[in-house]
Amino acid sequence: MTHRTGRTLATTAVATALLACLGCQVSRAPKEGALDGRHGNSSFSPAGAEKIERTGRAHLDWSTGVLRKADVGLASDDEPATWVDGGDRDHPIAVTIDAPRGRLAVRADDIAVEDHPGEPDIRSVTLRLHPRDDDALIARLREGVTSYGLDAGQVETWVASFADDPRRTCTTLGWSTGPGTTLGLEVSYTVQCKWDGPEQIRLVLVDVGPAPGESG
């Protein structure tokens, strides 16, 4: 399995868990650790995650192609990053990520950082978004083509299928794009929908990670 495939599978697993746990109560870790990261980065310690949730803003500097755990307020390579739960979909978190060739800007409901014990680098950051309707979902995908280099043919094929039969095309099993590398980071989308229950859910996970050959 390639590293990229592993990251995509991890993102899909996160999405499935999020859909299954809609409405679950999230336990809170003690608010410890750095409030801010290094070099202008937000911190993903428990205290830093609380600050992001309170201020509604998060920033990451991935402009060198490498993002260290120490850069995001983690005291050691074994300290896990804290999940950031925006809590209020009407007031999402303004997330900016400086990339080697530009900037990614997304308003996200939640932020998950993938890291592994003993490794100094952040593997990926996943931003969770809930488009309000079908048009917003399609617009989000097309933005990924123009802004981040997602494959236009792949996206438009899925959009045509979705327009014809949304419930059959967008399911809890999920659909993932290949990575776009326009910004010098790998950016991919995973889309899931849940049509049954008290509300219809459209979920987009924007997965951001290092691109081969961009570190420097």
Q: Does residue 167 lie within any of the structural domains?
A: yes
Q: Does residue 216 lie within any of the structural domains?
A: no
Domain that holds residue 104: 3-210
pLDDT tens readout for residues 178-193: 999 999 999 999 999 9
Q: Does residue 215 lie within any of the structural domains?
A: no
Q: What is the pLDDT of residue 88?
A: 80
Q: Does residue 145 lie within any of the structural domains?
A: yes
Q: Does residue 72 lie within any of the structural domains?
A: yes
Tally the domains of the chain.
Answer: 1
Burial 47-79 (b: 16+ CB within 10 A, else e): bbbbbbbeeeebbbbbbbbebbbbbbbbeeeeb
Element (H, E) at 192: strand 185-194
pLDDT tens readout for residues 72-89: 999 898 899 999 998 888
| pTM above threshold 0.75 | yes
CA–CA dist 182, 65 (Å, integer): 13
Q: Does residue 14 lie within any of the structural domains?
A: yes
Q: Does residue 38 lie within any of the structural domains?
A: yes
156: pLDDT strictly greater than 90: yes
